[in-house]
Structure 1
């Protein structure tokens, strides 16, 4: 059979010539204990075209780290799908309909791989 990943075409990340579907990565991260929700975005990267970047909201009281997330998804996703960076935030930006605004996240973190700072 075939596996279909459902997500928005405009959210597709092209990293190192590979197509990466954020929904697949978000599903793996969201399933982890200590994670309330996540959003995965592509951010301009000098070596890969776009770097896979995870923006994660921890559950209250959680101390889950970027290393914990990387370790948990290591055997579940191909290496090129692993986030190059995991950023922890208190909440994800949403529009009036409650949808995560990935365009706002991409703008906020557009320089993270070139200057190392959020915009």
Structure 2
């Protein structure tokens, strides 16, 4: 798997336009341009998702990443790439689609 590393400044959204942010700020020793590299050990939340199902609000609330396959870790946790598999979930843990990575760190590439 190849892709660009995600860092604390990556712009990520849910499939419905909500904003994804790290609930636990990446703070590892590995940094790119001053921003910490994001790993699967960090929790991610969604704010501002307008998603509804049959007229009932069902916004995305969290993102779960599957960051295996690269073999690259920071502090023992797999790094996140713009190509890492992930799903957004509602508060009821209903899968609602993959997040959209709009901007990732392009200076470092994992191959």
Greater helix proportion? 1
Same-fold status (TM-score > 0.5) = no
Q: Higher relative contact order by CA 8 Å / sep ≥ 6: 1 or 2?
A: 2
Greater strand proportion? 2
Provide TM-score, normalisation by structure 1. Answer: 0.28
